[in-house]
Structure 1
Amino acid sequence: MPVTTTVITGATSGIGRETAIALAKKDHSLYLLVRDTAKGEALKHEIILATKNKNIYVVPCDLADLDSVRNAADILKSSLLSINVLINNAGGIFAERQESKNGFEMTFAVNHLGHFLLVQCLLPLLEKGQARIINVSSEAHRMAKPNFNDLQWTKRPYSAWKAYGTAKLFNIYFTRSLAIKYGPKGINAFALHPGLVNTGFGTGLTGIGKLLMALARPFMISAETGAQTTIYLALATRIDAKSGKYFKNREVVSASTAATNQVGRDRLWDLSLGLVEPYLN
């Protein structure tokens, strides 16, 4: 039986970690794209010990640094003939406006643009592997009111939650664009909400954001439970017809009205392609 080659970002904690362990148990050959390679190596050895699956590899990748993303893709292209599953799991929320190494607003960079570049760089391998691309979004996308004239939050007061919600809406836009553009080439794409998961998410928030997270914590689910929809999408058979859809609790659900906006979706694609173009060569 052919080995399934899976690439996952943000695997060293939370639902990414649980996803990686579950897929290793299913004998996937895993490539862990991580910012902290020491944590990545520790997870690698933990997975090997727990699952006896030795096909676990660590690749340095900082999604806030587009040069790092491109270098990670180059490593994968030099090591692999194809990729069967790509899980864009990493993300984050930032209390104050920060800029990435490349000068982009950090929420936009980490949650969207880094993954956008990663996919663009890996397209030949994804096509060869007839891949599934799984984008971890959030119900926070429902609060989004994207301003394409101020993606970097320089012209208006920064809001951590609005920036995060917009980035999660962009995950859904990205998913639908991938399904439409690359479905004919055998690539399928899915977006999902993992649930309100009790991880380190939001620990840097202050003020009302910190209070809201504290109030929500007793109602949060475990990382293992939160990973179940991602795991389902990586393993399920006969779901190609649902490519481009948004999932919650392993089922297709309706995203927000804004998520169906084709003009916004196409504009995001064009803007993103222009921003990453210098890193594609």
Structure 2
Amino acid sequence: MPITTTVITGATSGIGKETAMALAKKDHAIYLLVRDTERGEALKQEIATATKNRNIYVVHCDLADLESVRNAAGILKSSLLGINVLINNAGGIFDERLESKDGFEMTFAVNHLGHFLLVQSLLPILEKGQARIINISSEAHRMAKPNFNDLQWVKRPYSSWKAYGTAKLFNIYFTRSLALKYGPKGISAFALHPGMVNTGFGAGLTGFGKTLMWLARPFMISAETGALTSVYLASAARIDTKSGKYFKNRHPAGTSAAATNEVGRDRLWELSMELIEPFLA
């Protein structure tokens, strides 16, 4: 049986780490796209020791630096004939408005735009691998009120949770666009809510955000449990007919009304393509 080649962003902790570990146990060849390569190498050794899987590789990729994303995609394209699974797992929430190296609002850059460029840059080998693209979204998408005239949060007061919710809505838009545009080329795409997971997520929050996370902690699930839907979507047979859908607990689930907005979905694609255009050459 051919080895399944899986690429995961943000795999050095939390559900990303548990997803990588679980898929390594299923004999996937795992490419860890990480910002901190020292932590990535440590995880590689941990996975190899735990699973006896030696097909674990580390590639530097900082989603807040589009040049880094382009370089990571170049390494993968020179190393692989095809990718079977791409899990866009990395993400984050920020207590104040920060900017990426390229001048984009950090929540938008890390949760959406970096992954958008990664997919566009990897399209040739995603097509060859008949890939499943899995985007980690969240029920936080329900609080989103996207403003396409101010994607970078410069014209209105910054809200960490609204910015995060908007980025998670964009993950769903992106998923549905991928399913529509690239489904005929053999690519399928899925979005998912992993659950309220007890990880380091939101560790940098202060004030109300910190209090909210503290109140929620007793109800949170483990990272291993939070990874179950990602692992399911990466490994289950015959789910391509559900491409474009949003999953919870390994089953398709409903979304907010805003997530079904085709105008917003298409506008996000158009603006994202404009923003990454300088990095596609």
2:105 corresponding residue in structure 1: 105
Quote the residue 2:137 is aligned against.
Answer: 137
CA displacement 1:166-207 (0-9 Å, x = unmatched): 000000000000000000000000000000000000011111
Equivalence for 1:237 = 237
Deviations 1:49-72 (A, max 9, x none): 111100000000000000000000
Provide the rounded CA distance (Å) in 2 between the counterparts of 1:262 and 1:219: 34
Secondary structure in structure 2 of the residue aligned to 1:247? strand
Deviations 1:122-160, CA, capped at 9 Å, x for gaps? 000000000000000000000000000000000000000
Show the counterpart of 2:45.
45
SS in structure 2 at match of 1:94: coil
* TM-score, length basis structure 1: 1.00
Matches within 5 A, 1:146-161: 146-161=146-161
Map 1:256-275 → 2, pairs under 5 A: 256-275=256-275
Unaligned runs of 5+ in 2: none
User: Aligned ranges for residues 215-230 of structure 1 at < 5 Å?
Assistant: 215-230=215-230
CA drift at 1:48: 0.5
- Matching residue of 1:68: 68
Match of 1:54?
Answer: 54
Question: What is the alpha-carbon root mean square deviation over aligned residues?
Answer: 0.3
AA partner of residue 158 (structure 1)? Y
Match of 2:199 in 1: 199
2:229 counterpart letter in structure 1: T
Could you tell me how far apart the structure 1 residues matched to 2:90 and 2:97 are?
A: 19
Letter matched to residue 260 of structure 2: T
Secondary structure at the residue paired with 1:237?
Answer: coil
Q: Note the alpha carbon deviations across 1:208-244, whole angstroms, 9 max, x for none.
A: 1110100000110000000000000001111111000
In structure 1, what is the Cα distance between the partners aligned to 2:164 and 2:240? 29
Cα distance in structure 1, aligned partners of 2:28 and 2:241? 23
1:111-190 alignment to 2 at 5 Å?
A: 111-190=111-190
Residue 15 of structure 1, CA deviation: 0.1
Number of the residue aligned with 2:26: 26
1:9 is displaced (CA, Å) by: 0.1
Cα distance between partner residues in 1 of 2:212 and 2:121: 38
Amino acid at match of 1:184: P
Q: Which ranges in structure 1 are unaligned for 5 or more consecutive residues?
A: none
TM-score using structure 2 length: 1.00
How far 1:96 sits from its partner (Å)? 0.3
1:73 maps to amino acid: A
Q: Distance in 2 between matches of 1:36 and 1:118?
A: 18
Q: Helix, strand or coil: the match of 1:149?
A: coil
Confirm whether residue 252 of structure 1 aligns to residue 252 of structure 2.
Answer: yes
**What is the identity percentage for the equivalent residue pairs of Structure 1 and Structure 2?**
83
Aligned residues: 281
CA distance in 2, matches of 1:235, 1:120: 23
Instruction: Give, as a single letter, the amino acid of the residue that structure 1 aligns with 2:255.
Output: A
- Once the two structures are TM-superposed, the CA of residue 85 in structure 1 deviates from its matched residue by 0.2
Name the CA distance, whole Å, in 1 between partners of 2:60 and 2:249: 31
